[in-house]
A and B are shown apart, each in its own frame.
Chain A
Amino acid sequence: MISGKEVCNSRAHPGRHGGVEFEDFVRARGPALLRYGYVLTGNAEDAADLVQEALLRLSDTWRRVRNKDNPESYVRTIMARQHVSWWRKVRRERLTGELPEGSYTDIHSTGELWRELATLPRRQRAVLVLRYYEDLSDQEIADILGISRGTVRSQAFRGLNTLRVRPAMLERGRA
């Protein structure tokens, strides 16, 4: 698999938003970002919106991010923050009718637990996704969401409680 770092070490075309380099990054990492967006939102349309909004922001700051940070973690951080805070409220456009054919219903393969995730408050779900899908430590989750480690723990505790998942330990360090 190509990493974000490898992609952004390729060529740059100034003058376009992000240029060819940015486009390569989207082609290489887009599917993974969409999976992440889908796990965060539980909804195909919202996932596509979330990823596209975040990529639009990345393309505006591509050169700076490429030089200083890892573009993929930048996008993932934006997505998590947008999802729990302001994204849905200020979104001005709805992307409709633009998704490809296919079934994105939540009924198959993922089972009862996936369906129950949809009942969680947004921040609880985000904490669980960052912990169990992104495999991040509670400190990393706290940094990404801009909340304290204690809040991460309590959010995770409540989410797991709702889902009737027994936590193996109270706080997760680096996996």
Chain B
Amino acid sequence: MRTEDELVTALRQGAADAPEPDLLAGVARLRRRRRARRRAQLLAAAAVVAVAGTGTAVFRGTAVQETPQPLATATASIAPVPVEPVEAVAAELWPEAVFTMPARNSDGWRYRPITAISPTEVLLSAESSFEKAGKFEVYDSRTGKARLVAEVPKDDRLKKYIVQGVTVDGANVAWFAYGEQGDGAQIRDIWTVPLAGGEARLVASRVGQDADLDAIGLDGDHVVWSEVDGGVWRHPLGGIEPERVPGSDGLHLVQWPWATDVAGLPGDLDRNQLRLVNLEDGSSRTVQPPPGVQGMRCGPVWCYGRGERGTVISRVDGSQPPREVARGIGMGVARYPILDRFLAAGNAVYDLATSTMVSFGNPGNWYGAGVSSEPSTVFYWGATKGDKPDKFRVLNLAAVPPAQ
């Protein structure tokens, strides 16, 4: 046996090996990070409102094979204690999903990441000036090279012509561009181009009342879109006339084939989603928000909303009781779960599969989310401090390994 004096001696001797960092510098650094985090969170909160007008939506689908089923009543009481998520840094937890890429293309135009198309490839727009998409390119983190997909056509007859919603599947890219005619009427042109590269082709032009689009998607050889007032349209890539998707009245495209009954307008942010509809087979799931929850949004698997004390997470099928996690989870530019697994969380993402909060490990005070119409699978930030870094660090959620 040892004596207490030996323990005292061991502790005192151990203390002699304590580190001697510059504490004042360390405290200042912590303070800066805390401020930056708050700014980024405010920015993200503002972005929710700012992007809501264009009504971007939704979840990028891993194949969901679940058969539609009536929803179990998910109104069980919410677990009272907020779950403190485990913390991790993206590049350490998922090294294969974080890479560095140039912030500008070979023309010197700034890149704006859109979304991932594979675990190593990201679709980008290169902007000749702010929010003026000039080219679509694909950057491959495996080769470290970018390739041109298409030059973005301009229409000199229209004023304020800008690209808005962009979507991509494995074969094509489609987008809509907003413009104003000479008489002030708004127009939206819907374009498509093969992902392998080629010349952009005008699929349709929507004028006046029909031009208020809020989301776009691709369904094989059809392009689909929804209107701000609700309703989904489907247009053959080689065809002439669009057709209204049956049963889509009042619905907004999230990601084909999924649609929701809430628009992305600022006034709808507090509204709970009540339906999730599969437009392909017409099946529908009813969402039952737990009591006191606002702004409920659901993908095919997960739902989240704002509870009184934090973010409330539940499953669409009611198979797990709702649980409360830290406030701020689900706060960000993506309004629906990403890849049926992640929620934006300010300067971080929350992994629903493992209940892990994964921070970007961002040295600067801003971050961006990809701008695809469906919930983007990429987040990016400057590799160095400052607003105009030479390189971006990119988190590609499509490259995150499956949860164990």
Contacts and interface: CB of A to CB of B under 8 A. Distances in A.
B10 interface: yes
Ranked nearest first, the 5 interchain pairs of A and B with the lowest CB-CB distance are A38-B18, A35-B15, A113-B10, A44-B19, A52-B26
B21 A164 contact: no
A133 B11 contact: yes
A174 interface: no
Given A56-B27, A89-B86, A93-B30, A47 B19 contact: yes
Contacts of B240: none
B359 A93 contact: yes
Contact of A48 (B13, B14, B26, B31): B26
Contacts of B10: 110-111, 113-114, 117
A165 B2 contact: yes
Given A110-B10, A166-B1, A166-B4, 7 more contacts: A36-B15, A45-B19, A56-B31, A56-B34, A113-B7, A128-B7, A132-B11
A38 B15 contact: yes
A52 B1 CA distance: 37
Interface string A139-160: 0000000000000000000001
B29 interface: yes
B12 A133 contact: yes
B18 A55 contact: no
11 contacts: A26-B24, A26-B27, A38-B14, A39-B18, A44-B19, A92-B33, A94-B89, A99-B21, A106-B17, A113-B2, A167-B4
A31 interface: yes
Contacts of A48: 19, 21, 23, 26
B23 A30 contact: yes
B373 to A, nearest CB: 31
A59 interface: yes
Interface residues on B, range: 35 or more
A114 B30 contact: no
Interface string B290-305: 0000000000000000
A45 B21 CA distance: 10
Contacts, number: 141
A84 interface: no
Contact of B87 (A91, A163, A164): A91
Report whether over half of chain A's contact residues are helix, strand or loop; otherwise say mixed.
helix
B81 to A, nearest CB: 13
Nearest to B326: A90
A42 B14 contact: yes
Contact of B18 (A35, A91, A95): A35
Interface in B322-362: 359, 361
A47 B29 contact: no
Contact of B30 (A53, A99, A110): A53
Contact of A92 (B6, B7, B87): B87
A39 B15 contact: yes
A4 to B, nearest CB: 14
Interface of B: 1-4, 6-8, 10-24, 26-27, 29-31, 33-34, 37, 84, 86-87, 89, 359, 361
Most B-side CB within 10 Å, residue of A31, A59, A86, A113: A113
A110 B14 contact: yes
Most B-side CB within 10 Å, residue of A39, A53, A86, A104: A39
B23 A51 contact: yes
Contacts of B30: 52-53, 56, 93, 95
B4 A31 contact: no
A31 B18 contact: yes
B20 A100 contact: yes
A50 to B, nearest CB: 11
B37 A34 contact: no
A129 interface: yes
Given A109-B16, A109-B17, A52 B4 contact: no
Contacts of A114: 10-11, 13-14
A170 interface: no
A165 B6 contact: yes
A92 B41 CA distance: 14
B87 A90 contact: yes
B359 A92 contact: yes
A102 interface: yes
Contacts of B23: 26, 30, 33-34, 48, 51-52, 55
Contacts of A59: 27, 31
Most B-side CB within 10 Å, residue of A35, A42, A163: A35
